[in-house]
Each structure stands twice: as C-alpha cells, then as structure tokens.
Structure 1
Amino acid sequence: MAAFTPAAVLSTRVAEAHVVVPQELAPGRPESVGLCSDRLEDVFARVSRRVNDGLFPGAVALIARRGRIVGHRAFGTRVRGQDEPVTLDTLFDLLSMTKVLATATSALILVQDGVLRLNDRVADFVPGFEAHGKAAITVRDMLRYTAGLPVDSQFLDEADDDRVWQRMAEAPLEYTPGTQVLYSDLTYRLLGRVIEAASGMDLDELAKARIWGPLGMRDTTFNPSAALISRTAATGFSALRGRVVRGEVQDDQDFALGGITGCDGAFSTARDLAVFCQMILNGGKYGGVRILSRQAAAAMVSNQTPEVRAADTDQSPLSNLLCTPKGYGWELATRRFSNGGTRFGRSAYGKSGGAGTFMWIDSRRELFGVLLTNHGLPTPFDEIGWNRMLDSVGSAEFFDGIVNAVMDE
C-alpha cells in the first residue's frame, strides 16, 4: 500500500513474522494447542472468585490459541443485585475498545480505498479544527495518540450537539503535536468525525458494512436495539441520567452526542471480539474475507511512536494507559504496568475499555484472551479510581494466567 511508508513497513516486521495462516475459530482442547487444562481452570476460577467476592457483578472470559477456542465461560449477573445470569452471548459496553473495533480500523480501510491518507490534515475535514495552531495535525497523528490534544473535554453544559462539536474542534493544544503520547478520547472523537466526513457514513454504518458485517460479528453494534437490551449487561449509575446504565454507553458525553462516536459506544460479545482478534492475528483476514491488507494490519499493532520510551512512561497503571508507546489505536505490551499483565511477549498488543473490558493478543504465541466485565467506569475516573478498577477486575492476573498455561515453550 502506497499510504504506508518503507519506515512503517520496517517497523512491522516483528508483528508480521508470526502471523498465522488465515483460519476461522473453532472449539478445541487446550492440550491440542499446547495449553494446560488445569492451569486454564485456575484462570477461570480466579475470575469466578472475584465475582463471588462482589468486586464486579459479572463477566465473560474467552481464551483462544492457534485458531481454537479452548475456554469460554460466563460468570455472575448482568445487573448488580438481580438474579439475571450472564450468558456466553451477553453484550458488554466496550467504551474505549471502540477505538480499534471501529475507528482505527475504519480509518485504515479508507486509506486502503484511497479515500483518506495518513498525512491528510484533520482541519480539511473538521471545520474550526485549525484554531490554536492545530492546522498541521494529521490523521496519523490522531491514530497514534500524538495530536497534542488533551485526554478529554466534556461539554455537558451545552444542549446543542453542533456547538459541542465546535467547542471540541476548537480545543487548544495540551502539548506540541508529535512530541509525546497522550491517550485521548477527544482525539478519537474528532477522528471519528474525520472518518464520517470522508466516507459519508456514520461510524456504525461504516463499521457494520466494512468490518463487523463481513466478519459475521452480528452482535457488535452502537446503541443496541430494544431486542438486544435483555442480553446486555448493565454498567454503573449515571448521576446525569439518574439511573443505572444498560444498553447505553456509560460515558455521559458520548451518550449526549447520540452514542456513536470515535472513542466510545460499541457493544459486543466475547465471541465477536474473538473473531476480530483472530482477524488481526491472521494479518487482516478471517474466514476468506480480507478486512485489512497484511501490511496495514501489521502497522496497526506495531510501535508507531518510536519517539516515546516505555522505560520513561511506564510508571503507573494510569501513565501506562496514557503515555506509553502506542500502535494505531492499540495499546502495546510493556514490562511494568500493562493492564494485559507482564508475561506476554514484547510484541503483544491489546485494548482496554474503561468500564472493565479487555482483549490482548500475543502474536508470537498465536494466543489471545478476552475478558469482559460490567464493573462500570471508576468514580471518580482518576489514578486511584483506575488502579482500583484494575485491581478489582484482575485483568493482569487473567492474562498472566493464560501465559502460565502455555506448555510448549
């Protein structure tokens, strides 16, 4: 693809080296793919224990290797305090996992189509964005979280959506673009606007037409329909809405904007996410359908921020999320505070959602896990709140336990 430079190709060689032959997922025994059944049972038992201890109401966990789903379990309840069991097909509010499931993948598809270029200026698609010295910021800057924008901007005092988008577009810079990484909901909200302007479709339509539909991810959607609400896990209480949120994105700003944005809003099941993970692991293809070119898929999960050192930024769980090296949308494995644990290979990558959802892929081991919970957004969403959520959900323990089950290395 002409849109990806030789430098980008060089940076993706490690990710491409262990891509498996394209395949569809199927059930399998752990030992048939080099995993220990007893150790996987321990992984699931630890998730169950956390649910039983009341740390979060419910969860679905899925583990796969070499194209075989070797474990898929449901725990707890969809709504805290109610007798409504979580089932394997329960939908969860994925929040920031939307950034890779819809936004970054859609952007790269449009690049493949020639509709968008990585070096296109955001200001050419979002009116008013050039304010405060932002005229030169590109699509690639946004994809890799180096656009210079703040982590978020909430404008819940505005009743008019157009005015909210205008204020977001005109937001001043937090730092000089390209000099550091700062994970940003605001950046990806506006990147979603770029994609919609370039494609002429909203993100839900585009993702269903070009990603979720072709992959058979039928339970993946923004704004679940009334028919899906009974299968959807509730998250937390929204003071603004005065109710426990169920079937609505928990982030109040994204809900106020209609529930379809580039940073949050997607709902899905563990099985659908497994298909997406396998597509990425296969180098952009699944079940005979190619979503991304092999080059684009590899670039997406490679380090696109070489100017940032993990050793300097991996100082706490929150600084890991916000400031460590990133791919296009994806978080990358680090040695200290990754929410995917510390035992995955250095080329591993994943994505977390603020309400307690996680998926991580170790391409060298051809291994991935999905952990979806309805913990709900930390309140307040600060460093202590993020730490407590990660400790309660135990994502690092879950993914480290998966690696501990590997027997053939």
Structure 2
Amino acid sequence: MCTEHGTLNRRRLLQGFGRAAAVAAFAPAALSTRVAEAHGGLAHDQLVPGSPESVGLCSDRLEDVFARISRRVTDGLFPGAVALVARRGRIVGHRAFGTRVRGQDEPVTLDTLFDLLSITKVLATATSAMILVEDGVLRLNDRVADFLPDFAANGKAGVKVRDMLRYTSGLPLDGHFLDDPDPESIWQRMAETPLEYVPGTQVLYSDLTYRLLGRLIEEATGTDLDTFAKTRIWGPLRMRDTTFNPSPALIPRTAATGYSELRGRVVRGEVQDDQDYALGGIVGCDGVFSTARDIAVFCQMMLNGGRYGGVRILSRQGVAAMVANQTPWVREADTDVSPLANLLFTPKGYGWELATRRFSNGGMRLGKTAYGKAGGTGTFLWIDPRRDMFGVLLTNHGLPTPFDELGWNRMLDAVGSAEFFDGIVNAVMYD
C-alpha cells in the first residue's frame, strides 16, 4: 500500500531510484540529456513509458482508478473505453476496456479511435487559429465578417476572432438546419444567425461559434480544416491516427457511438452530431477522431510550451494565452452552479475549459491552473501543469439523449470523468 498523499513510500521510492540507476548504466547519453534538461533545457520532450513510482505516483491507487472504469463497463454504463495517464513525460498507465460496438464481441484495443466531438475545438480549431495568429495571417482583433461577409448580418459586423475563440461571440449555443439539404445554404443561415447577447460581455459555450470559426480558418487558408491541421499540427507531431472522416481502412479500429434517427443506423466512423455530418464531417466544433496515444502527444506538446519531438507547433506565449483565463470579468462563483452551467458559462481560455472548484467534468482535485476539454460522446482530457501530468479518458458512451441538463448529468455520472481525474490526482504521492 502507498503512504498518504504528500509523503514518501521509502520502498517504492528506492525501487524507482534503482530502476533509474539501471537505465543510466546502460544509457549514459539519455541520462546526460535529462541532466541538461533539468538545468534549463526542455524537459521530457517526448513521451516514454514509465512506472508510476518513478514519477511520484502510487501504482495501487492508479490500479484502483482503472478498476473503477472497468466496473462501469461491466455494469453496462457504456460499451468501452481507453484511459491514459502520464506524468513528467512518462506514460504510467494506458488501458483498454470493453467493446467497440455495444452488444458485440469486438474488444477495444489501445489503438482504438474514438469520436472526440468537442475536443475538436482544441485539437484542431483553436490551435489552428493560434498558429495563424502567430503566422500573421490572422489577428485576434480581426473582424469575423472580414472573412465571412454573411456574418455581418443582424448587427454582427464588430464581432472579433478573439470573441469566437473564448466563447464570447454573442451567438447562441447552437443552430440546427437539418431541413436544408444544401451545405452552402446552411453555412449562410448559420452566419446570419442573430446575436443572443452583446459580444464580449459573457461566456456562452457555442458549437455554432466554433463551426463558424472553423469556416473562417478555411477561408483564411484556402484549404479545409482537416488538411490544415494535418499539415501544421498532427503531421508534425506524428499523430498519424488523428483525422476528420476516418478512411475505410480505419473503420475497423473505430469505436461506434450511438444510433442516429436521421441516418437510421448506429454511427461508426462518422461524427455523431447530425448537423456536422450534414456539413460533410469536417467542422470546427466536432468531427475529429483520434486515439488516446495521439492525444497524449498533443497534451505533452501543451505541457512543453508548444514543442514536442524537436518540432515547435506554437510559441510558449501562444500556449500560455490559450490556457489563461481570457474572460476575467466572468465570476466563477456565479457560473459554476451545475455540471451543464460549468460547461456553458464559466471562465474560458481560447478553446479550453478551465478548472473550477465545484462542477468541473475534471473533478475537484486538479490544480488551479489546470485546463481541459470534454466531448459530448463521453471523451475527456485534462492537463495539470503544476503537477506536470495529464489524463485522457475516451469512451464510446455517445451523445446524451436528450441532450439537455439531465442528459448531460447522466452522461457524466455514467462515464465517471470526475472520479477518473480525482483518482489520478489522488495517486500523487509527492510533487
């Protein structure tokens, strides 16, 4: 058994030192690299396997975290999952549970792809926007209507890119136009949507906003969001399994989500949101599929200040801006009043959700500077810079039905995301 949080387990610690010494004896170059990193170089630039104790985590407590996911799968709360935990550049737990398709004997494997839904907002859209800002193609104070002329309708000419990124655009939560078979007509109708509040005065988490932000990026670059993200983010990071619209070759490795009434089938390898599917599946708010291992690389890049594997994706300043509170006038105490209100109204970064004290889907034990993202299909990632760790929990629970406050609560309770992230923080023996 491990000692209480914040103290050392002597036997575990000595075992960790023994393993480190053995590695050093056979890999002096690697040791010297880490010593150099400790004196001002870039720490753990790439992820490597490691034991929990080697990075100050209790393996018994970590096993408890995984056992609780397994229990939820066994109880039928969702078909399957992959969970990954890393600290100080070491992957200390990576497990698969259950099945890819409900009711079928097709086990989830570590390389299973999941429909991430809203994690798309950070894995693709917000990061792409920040890259374009650093390239000088975009400015945070650029007007959205300069790229999307139809957006100027209904008093929206002054809305800025910054407002889109931080969920303060004034647009409603969503807008569905499933009665319209013409994608270009849908985009026009979305762009012309009237404001619900004065931009820059409150937070309202909005799929509609991020759909249009993705469209803006495509107009600014002359290419689709999938191509841009693969060229500037996922390709350089060697995130080879990360994509919009998985190819036929990837479908057997992809987890199914739920049943679509509109499509008349269980959705597998297609974005579950019907509006995003109608728009072709490459959309700024949803649509990315990925594996836990690929997402871990992205998380480590963020912890590294925008760099991974010798490749720089963003500047340190760009990363810091993305995960800072970009809506400081919004009071957490007034908005963190329920799980759904937490998602919709609490302070935000550029694309990212920020840790709060009460109803975060990342639990209550993450550090004050932690940031993360939830996807409506039951997918979650949270990064805790103070502890230099992150966790990824991907499930194929599928979109809540109906998608309202009760449905959102039920999905969170079924998946147990807060329990997962609280559990991995509880596994920390020392900082």
TM bucket normalised to smaller:
over 0.9
Runs of 4+ off more than 2 Å? 18-22
What does residue 187 of structure 1 align with?
209
Alignment of 1:27-106 (within 5 A): 27-106=49-128
What does residue 107 of structure 1 align with?
129
Alignment of 1:60-209 (within 5 A): 60-209=82-231
Give 1:20 deviation, angstroms: 6.7
1:167 maps to a residue whose letter is R
Give 1:307 deviation, angstroms: 1.1
What does residue 307 of structure 2 align with?
285
Contact 1:232 / 1:246 at 8 angstroms: preserved in 2?
A: yes
Deviations 1:329-365 (Å, cap 9, x if unpaired)?
0000000000000000011000000000000000000
TM-score, scaled relative to structure 1: 0.95
Q: Distance in 2 between matches of 1:164 and 1:19?
A: 49
Q: Distance in 2 between matches of 1:266 and 1:22?
A: 27
Alignment of 1:232-381 (within 5 A): 232-381=254-403
What does residue 12 of structure 1 align with?
none
Q: Distance in 1 between matches of 2:327 and 2:385?
A: 20
Comparing 21-30 with 76-85, which one deviates more in the overlay?
Answer: 21-30
Aligned length: 392
Q: Distance in 1 between matches of 2:41 and 2:79?
A: 36
1:210 maps to a residue whose letter is R
1:337 maps to a residue whose letter is F
Q: Distance in 2 between matches of 1:34 and 1:267?
A: 32
Give 1:52 deviation, angstroms: 0.2
> Structure 1: which 5+ runs fail to align?
1-17
What does residue 10 of structure 1 align with?
none
What does residue 15 of structure 1 align with?
none
Q: Distance in 2 between matches of 1:132 and 1:323?
A: 24
Q: Distance in 1 between matches of 2:230 and 2:291?
A: 15
Q: Distance in 1 between matches of 2:219 and 2:182?
A: 20
Contact 1:20 / 1:366 at 8 angstroms: preserved in 2?
A: no
Contact 2:44 / 2:88 at 8 angstroms: preserved in 1?
A: no
Task: Compare CA radii of gyration and give the structure with the larger one.
Answer: 2
1:232 maps to a residue whose letter is T
Give 1:127 deviation, angstroms: 2.3
TM-score, scaled relative to structure 2: 0.90
Report the 3-state secondary structure (helix = DSSP H, G, I; strand = E; otherwise coil) of the residue aligned with 2:169.
coil
What does residue 246 of structure 2 align with?
224
Give 1:19 deviation, angstroms: 11
Q: Distance in 2 between matches of 1:218 and 1:111?
A: 25
Q: 1:395 aligns with which of 406, 417, 421?
A: 417
**How well do the aligned residues superpose, as a CA RMSD in angstroms?**
1.0
Q: Distance in 2 between matches of 1:85 and 1:127?
A: 48
Give 1:22 deviation, angstroms: 5.2
Report the 3-state secondary structure (helix = DSSP H, G, I; strand = E; otherwise coil) of the residue aligned with 1:235.
strand
1:396 maps to a residue whose letter is A
When residues 235 and 111 of structure 1 are mapped into structure 2, their CA distance, relative to the original with a 3 A threshold, is: same
Q: Distance in 2 between matches of 1:321 and 1:341?
A: 13
Deviations 1:144-200 (Å, cap 9, x if unpaired)?
000000000000000111110010000000111111000000000000011011111
Q: Distance in 1 between matches of 2:396 and 2:371?
A: 22
Contact 1:122 / 1:194 at 8 angstroms: preserved in 2?
A: yes
Q: Distance in 2 between matches of 1:19 and 1:240?
A: 53
1:26 maps to a residue whose letter is V
When residues 19 and 265 of structure 1 are mapped into structure 2, their CA distance, relative to the original with a 3 A threshold, is: farther
